[in-house]
Amino acid sequence: MITTIIYEGSWLSFLTVVFEIYERKLGAVNILKNNKAQINIFGVPLLIGADPPKAKRVIQGLKAKLTTEGLKNLFSCFLSEIEGIENDMLSFIRLVFENEKSVETAYGYPEVLRLSKIGRMVYREKHRMEAFVRFQLTQDDIYYSSIEPDFNVIPLITNHFKKRYADQKWIIYDLKREYGIYYDLVEVNEIYFDFKNDYQSVKDEKIFKDDEILYQVLWQDYFKHINIASRKNTKLHLKHVPKRYWKNLVEKF
């Protein structure tokens, strides 16, 4: 008998789910995010919300068994939001707790290899976003950028941008997930636009500084002229800059 568990979708609530599974000695489970859950599931699903002390105990257990890298990788997998990832993560966690030795690099286990691969995919997307964010300077001196990453990587890129752009205000907004981060020269906070109104104004050129367009044109020109036409390699170009990112890249406007 498979127990269906519906959780609220946050990292803490996922860890709480893991705690409850051990606490209640549940066997086969199917973990679903509350917005993804189907109505016609058999049996009564178990609803689980975030319980920080319980989540903390799971984290401590994992920390004792995994390296920092390994734990980070698990978190990255969670951010992939791939359907069913919670179940893969659970089988990985079970494997971790069942074994005396660390299984982190036991790539012969399918769940270890799978999570290592998904973690790498998310890491690559994080790296891409650190590269592909394109700020535009607004009249009120905020550098603004829209992104639409494949995975929810904002939690992974926050520190990078905070360290790098310490002396300017900036916003990075994930249009797909409808939230962003705002750095006000002191700290970074999550922000949410009133989408219809606020986002329309971001698309309006008048909100940008006068020389914003000049720098965009300079960048586009630079991009064009640094290319060596006789070495054209479209396949390689597309591999590194896939088309789905173009709409937010100034040089590809």
Partner 1 sequence: MSDRILEKVQILADAAKYDVSCSSSGSKRQNHNKGLGNASDGICHTYTEDGRCVSLLKILLTNFCIYDCAYCVTRKSNDIKRAAFTVQEVVDLTINFYRRNYIEGLFLSSGIFKNADYTMERLVSVAKKLRLEHKFNGYIHLKSIPGASDELMHEAGLYADRLSVNIEMPTEKGLKLLAPDKDRKDMIQPMNYLKEAIILHTDEKRLLKTSPIFAPAGQTTQMIIGATQETDKEIMYAADRFYKGFNLKRVYYSGYVPISNDKRLPGLDTGVPMVRENRLYQTDWLMRFYGFKVQEILNDFNPHLDLDIDPKLSWALRNLSLFPLDINKADLQLILRVPGIGVQSAQKIVAARKFHKLNWDHLTKIGIALNKAKYFIVCNSREIFQKDFSATKIKQFILSGSSSKYIKHNTEQLALF
Binding site for partner 1 (CB under 8 A): 101, 103, 105-110, 113, 127, 130-137, 143, 145, 160, 163-168, 214-215, 217-219, 221-223, 225-237, 239-241, 249-251
Bridge partners for 137 per DSSP = 143
* Rounded least distance, CB 132 to partner 1, Å: 7
Residue 32 or 93 having the CB closest to partner 1: 93
Q: Least distance (Å) from partner 1 to the CB of residue 164?
A: 5
Give me the least distance between CB of 95 and partner 1, in Å please.
11
Residue with smaller CB distance to partner 1, 203 or 239: 239
Instruction: Indicate the residue among 107 and 195 with the shorter CB distance to partner 1.
Output: 107
How far is Cα 26 from Cα 242, in angstroms, rounded to an integer? 43
Q: Cβ of residue 26: shortest distance to partner 1, in angstroms?
A: 27
Distance CA 243, CA 239 (A): 9
User: Nearer Cβ to partner 1, position 7 or 132?
Assistant: 132
Q: Between 20 and 125, whose beta carbon lies closer to partner 1?
A: 125
Minimum Å distance from CB 208 to partner 1? 11
Minimum Å distance from CB 69 to partner 1? Answer: 12
With respect to partner 1, which residue has the nearer C-beta, 26 or 249?
A: 249
Largest CA distance in the chain: 66
Close Cβ partners of 240 (under 8 Å, ≥ 6 residues apart)? none
Three-state secondary structure of 6-55? EECCCHHHHHHHHHHHHHCCCCCEEEEECCCCCCCCCCCCEEECCCHHHH
Residue 3 CB neighbours (<10 A): 16
Q: What is the DSSP string of 68-130?
A: HHHHHHHHHHHHT--TTHHHHHHHHHHHHHH-SS--TT-TTSHHHHHHHHHHHHHHHHHHHHH
